[in-house]
A and B are shown apart, each in its own frame.
Chain A
Amino acid sequence: MSDIDIIHKAADQKYKYGFTTDIEQDIIPPGLNEDVIRLISSKKNEPEFLLNWRLKAYRHWLTMAEPDWAKLKYSPIDYNAISYYAAPKEKKELKSLDEVDPKLLETYDKLGIPLHEQKMLSGVAVDAVFDSVSVATTFKDELKKHGVIFMPFSEAVREHPDLIEKYFGSVVPYTDNYFATLNSAVFSDGSFVYIPKGVRCPLELSTYFRINASQTGQFERTLIVAEEGSHVSYLEGCTAPMRDENQLHAAVVELVAHKDAKIKYSTVQNWYPGDENGKGGIYNFVTKRGICKGENSKISWTQVETGSAITWKYPSCILKGDNSVGEFYSVALTNNYQQADTGTKMIHIGKNTKSTIISNGISAGHGQNVYRGLVQINKSAENARNYSQCDSILIGDKCGAHTFPYLDVRNPSAQVEHEASTSNISEDQLFYCQQRGISTEDAISMIVHGFCKNVFQKLPMEFAVEAQKLLEVSLEGSVG
């Protein structure tokens, strides 16, 4: 078989979702200073405390240096060349989908996300973020009945300032890291979810992010609070149109799980990865962190990363409550010149805390894939348990797979296990399939799907299908 051919084919696979929607946009000119931040804040009618928070973050950001420890190579980002706010001109309050700009809806249709259809058929409530302002929120009434709050962040700031003030920045403080601090200063919009005590959220919540306007970074902010005994599954998926300039995406996601609460956060990330020569593509620097505050709480991260030129993302769990559980399931695929430095942090603080890490990396073309993770067992974490498994597949001889796990154990009763392996698809496996009449391409497809199965199983049904499709788009040619 010729790997080279397959890689070339895969590389030739054009980004299917590359198009831009021609909607008049309200854009702040590129540049970053306190005035820009004040302007963003005033455009969104934010309360005083939020503006002060933004300014504090900005001032702190000025004292920070961009981190260089990740195994990523990219040309320096000019933060003053980015426009920090872009919103569709449409500013009316919308109650139903009919009021939404038909062009916007058309965009979603092209992406295969017909909002209204989804509303009826799949029972998924979609809070669609088009660039930076949420324009349509569905299923609000159904959620309202259960007392679930699911709304754009900017709206939540106005309607539930007490909740925002209590939880906002409580997991990812504005001083956290370079990109989170930048986000804290300039974040545009995002989603806020609040599940009251004892409520099992009746729907899978989902947000679609999309970068549209050229040269606008997107700085989303997501906050999910699950009160005692509540249960929520949140889905996030991204596709972005084709662009030549590198676009910056620095989102922050915060999860708070109280006693007995369960949060499941699933991501399918398919930002534009750049062309086959590594030109263009999204820079994705995301800070995601959840805290299991109460006993028996659980946070589960599942991610399928197939897009972005640069992925810098470490969804983490702080296991503070006794018996709390953290999970991280990841499939990261890098093709052409994509680079991914991703992984997780599991901080065990409470007694009998458990964490599981399953990370599968697939590298093809010139792709570079890094797993970087930390498992920290604090002295207080009696009987903590961790299991990590990081496997990588290499397709082609120009790509790389790297594993950097950090395991810090300060309590002898802890059981920490880590294993990792890296290999290519073996000739034996291919031969076995081929002799049963399966073509090389189909065989590779089967093997890769099998390799990712343990993660796909963790995705909600609707997403599992999409995830497999995305994997195919990214590897088509080699993965049938």
Chain B
Amino acid sequence: MAKSIDTSAITKHYQREFERLHGNSNGSLTAWRRAALDQFSASGLPSSKQEDWRNLNLGPISGEYFVATPAPELDLFNNLDFKYLPRTPRLVFVNGYFTAELSDLSQLSDEVKINSLTYLLKTDPKQVAKAVLGNTPESTNPFDRLNAAFFNSGVKIDLPARLIDPVTIQLIFITRPTSDNQVFHLRNLINIGSGSQLNLVEQYIGLGELNYFNNVVTDVVVEENGGFECTKIQAETPSGNQLSNTILNQQTDSRSKSLTVSMSGKLVRNNLLLALRGEGAHGDLNGLYLGRHNNVIDNHTLIDHIVPNCTSAELYKGILDENAQAIFNGKIIVQPDAQKTNANQINRNLLLSDKARVHTNPQLEIDADDVKCSHGSTTGELDSDTLFYLRSRGISTAEAQALMVNGFANEVLETISDDATRELVINMVSDWFINKSEIS
């Protein structure tokens, strides 16, 4: 059992933060924020006794974190060393602050409306209010509420309807905290007009040694016949934490494909809701989580089949080494009306050390009869027969293991449609594996 966390101190702390940041403002957005904070204060931080937070120790983010205000601190940009695609269009945010020096929007079509939320909050708060107030239904996740109360950065992307060419945008969020215990509340609002396609690469990069915590909420609406492909790469520092809450709403005949690659971080928790609201919609949810040191990676996915004739496929794989701990909780709900649903889910885990552990909890909740649903879950170590096969052909143990681990991971990574993105992610994953000895 995890230690119980004194939540009253935390809620008081965030109330003080709220007064510091929003105490003097009013308007519908502030009222909405205040309501969200009240909800957070009422629920407090979740405990590991709650079903949704089972086995998860929220210790690393339960301290007093201070809401960081996005501001340009130019010296941060020197000596930035990280892997990203040198391609456009590209938006780079450092500590939530949009940095034009690193970004490049020259290739972006004029029809795509894209704005930093920090900018919008200053210049046109009504537009932000409109976007977030329309965000239904409201999540009961305490961290979503906390984000609602404090978000001050992120991006708003609006794709008009019927764009002929797919739009590719790369978002890079670099976190290099300037003092200990900073929290960054990011909110991304994405709307894809009917018939248009957005390919998004979302990269989170942590730098430095300090403690921080990213609380990200992403709200996506894919209109009729629209398409959305998202590759999210989470590479926080060993002392960095990330909680993400993604809601993917799909209308009639829309398609989505999302991949979440979690590479490191002290505590990473992803909540992903795929809501299939229009008939004929299809969603692919893929994930790869790589854990090492004392990493804790928790993926909670929920696929909600609300209407008939939708399909979904889910593939989540995990590789856990050293003391890492992973939680996978994948739920598929088929509502009473959602006949002709086809939903499949697979979760596979590879344990590389005797201290690594995994808790998986695939769930099916089915209230319609004309459906085909299945889930499968496996956990094990590298297959000794395969290893022997490779060794007998003169391949060293280390090399053979690397081959097998890469092969295991590539099943997920090969789902990325874009060649350059796929190559970037595959390289990052190989690096992760090669770095094994150096880091430990």
Contact = CB atoms under 8 A, between A and B. Distances in A.
A423 B354 contact: no
Interface stretch (A243-251, A308-316, A395-403, A451-459): A395-403
Given A412-B353, A414-B379, A422 B364 contact: yes
Given A417-B377, A422-B374, A409 B349 contact: yes
Contacts of B205: none
Contact of A397 (B368, B374, B375, B377): B368
Contacts of A397: 336, 339, 368-370
Interface residues of A, number: 36
A406 B364 contact: no
Given A409-B379, A412-B381, A424 B362 contact: no
A413 B366 contact: no
Contacts of B16: none
Contact of B357 (A396, A405, A409): A409
B51 interface: yes
A407 B326 CA distance: 11
Given A416-B379, A419-B374, A403 B363 contact: yes
Contacts of B374: 419-422
B346 to A, nearest CB: 9
B354 A411 contact: yes
A442 B336 CA distance: 28
Nearest to B349: A409
A438 B351 CA distance: 50
A412 B356 contact: yes
B403 to A, nearest CB: 18
A268 to B, nearest CB: 26
B364 A402 contact: yes
Contact of A420 (B55, B367, B372, B376): B376
Nearest to B352: A412
Contacts of A405: 361-363, 377
A410 B357 contact: yes
B57 to A, nearest CB: 15
B369 A419 contact: no
Given A405-B361, A407-B361, A394 B369 contact: yes
A423 B374 CA distance: 9
Contacts of B376: 417-420
Contact of A417 (B367, B371, B372, B378): B378
A258 B425 CA distance: 53
Interface residues of B, number: 35
Contacts of A49: none
B380 A415 contact: yes
Contacts of A420: 362, 364, 374-376
A53 interface: no
A276 B182 CA distance: 60
A399 B359 contact: no
Nearest to A393: B369
B365 interface: yes
Interface in A408-452: 408-424
B360 interface: yes
Contacts of B363: 402-405
A407 B379 contact: yes
A408 B51 CA distance: 15
A406 B359 CA distance: 7
A400 B361 CA distance: 19
A407 B365 contact: no
A413 B357 CA distance: 11
A251 B387 CA distance: 49
Interface string A307-328: 0000000000000000000000
Interface in A89-128: none
Interface string B402-421: 00000000000000000000
Contacts of B372: 421-423
A407 B377 contact: yes
A153 to B, nearest CB: 35
B141 to A, nearest CB: 19
A400 B367 contact: yes
Interface of B: 51, 55, 336, 339, 349, 351-354, 356-381
15 contacts: A397-B336, A400-B365, A400-B367, A405-B362, A405-B363, A407-B359, A408-B357, A408-B360, A412-B353, A414-B379, A416-B379, A418-B376, A419-B375, A420-B374, A422-B364
- Closest 5 pairs between A and B when the two form their complex, measured CB to CB: A412-B351, A394-B369, A421-B374, A419-B376, A403-B364
Interface of A: 3, 69, 377, 379, 392, 394-424
